[in-house]
């Protein structure tokens, strides 16, 4: 019996990726260092509501990638090449437009700005996410091997990465904030490995009992997740003045953000949304929205 693609597809995860895409718009539409955001609680809340977007994107990706039956070299290469051409293609088109309008060909400068800048001073600054995703795809066969052949070692690795993230987060409150800020986002690899490991863990069959428990108590756990989500926003607004770092990326390694992001992903992974056709229609556009907002943010 052949199972249809629609029946085997997890529409709950598709839905959470749509949510994450909306939250990315919140991140890219507002500048947290501007007075209109800093001096306005509503605008600040809208901006920091997007804090969980990047963690969700990484976990949703590894949820499937690390739980495939096998990861071939061809699969990794194809995915990496696809993402690389997205980066180069958008930068090239923009550079050609600049050449026509302003008679300046700035391809190399803009390409460098996709990964090697620490502030949002470049049109394609937000493309760091794609470089980080490429790195995670490259090491995904190793993580897949550990997950499927030595689960205890995988759990230990996840525990160690969690400790590293929390340790770095604590150091931000001990006058280490400026040192971490000076590291371009794409090179904060410990964060992305952490969320990639967590996504792979949530999608694994060994995690099924926890997901069944969440499904049985979906209402109370959902309300708990919503409450924690608001706490994340409140904490982020408070924390920006403590560590003197206004961007949401400062909180990616915070244990509250990690736990809340994981809980939200688990909840959506067990959901069975009704509007499946609408989700199927929207989901292909999510990455396009992410890319377009890098040009207007």
Name the residue among 277, 245, 276, 188 with its Cα closest to residue 33: 245
CA dist 59 and 123 (Å) reads 26
Alpha carbon 25 to its chain centroid, in Å, reads 13
pTM (predicted TM-score): 0.89
Cβ atoms within 10 Å of 216's Cβ, excluding its own:
11
Residue 204 Rama label (left phi>0; alpha psi -120 to 50; beta): beta
Q: Are 247 and 32 in contact (CB under 8 A)?
A: yes
What would the DSSP string read from start to end of 24-88?
A: HHHHHH--TTSHHHHT-HHHHHHHHGGGGHHHHHHHHHHHHHTTSS---HHHHHHHHHHHHHHHH
Tokens of 79: 């995915």
pLDDT in tens, the chain (297 residues): 344 445 567 888 888 988 888 898 888 888 899 999 999 999 999 999 999 999 999 999 999 999 999 999 999 999 999 999 988 888 888 889 888 888 888 788 888 877 776 555 567 778 888 999 999 999 999 999 999 999 999 999 999 999 999 999 999 999 898 999 888 888 999 999 999 999 999 999 999 999 999 999 999 999 999 999 999 999 999 999 999 999 999 999 999 999 999 999 999 999 987 777 777 767 666 665 555 555 444
For residue 190, what pLDDT is reported?
Answer: 96
Question: How far is the C-alpha of 82 from the C-alpha of 79, rounded, in Å?
Answer: 5
Neighbours of 224 (CB within 10 A): 14
């Amino acid at each position: 019996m052949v199972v249809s693609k629609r029946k085997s597809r997890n529409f709950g995860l598709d839905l959470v990726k749509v949510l994450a895409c909306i939250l990315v718009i919140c991140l890219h539409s507002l500048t947290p260092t501007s007075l209109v955001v800093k001096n306005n609680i509503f605008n600040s809340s809208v901006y920091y509501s997007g804090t969980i977007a990047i963690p969700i994107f990484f976990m949703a990706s590894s949820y499937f990638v690390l739980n495939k039956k096998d990861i071939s070299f061809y699969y990794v290469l194809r995915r990496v090449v696809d993402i690389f051409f997205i980066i180069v293609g958008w930068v090239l088109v923009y550079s050609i437009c600049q050449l026509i309008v302003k008679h300046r060909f700035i391809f190399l400068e803009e390409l460098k700005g996709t990964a090697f800048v620490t502030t949002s001073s470049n049109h394609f600054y937000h493309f760091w996410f794609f470089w980080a995703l490429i790195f995670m795809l490259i090491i995904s066969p190793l993580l897949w091997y550990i997950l499927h052949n030595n689960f205890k070692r995988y759990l230990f690795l996840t525990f160690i990465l969690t400790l590293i993230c929390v340790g770095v987060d604590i150091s931000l409150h001990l006058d280490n904030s400026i040192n971490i800020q000076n590291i371009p986002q794409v090179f904060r690899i410990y964060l992305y490995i952490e969320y990639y490991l967590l996504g792979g863990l949530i999608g694994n069959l060994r995690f099924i009992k926890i997901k069944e428990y969440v499904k049985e108590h979906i209402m109370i756990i959902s309300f708990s997740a919503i409450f924690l989500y608001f706490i994340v926003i409140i904490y982020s607004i408070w924390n920006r003045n403590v560590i003197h770092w206004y961007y949401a990326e400062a909180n990616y390694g915070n244990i509250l953000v990690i736990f809340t992001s994981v809980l939200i992903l688990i909840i959506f992974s067990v959901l069975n949304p009704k509007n499946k056709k609408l989700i199927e229609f929207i989901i292909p556009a999510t990455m396009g929205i992410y890319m377009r907002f890098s040009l207007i943010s």
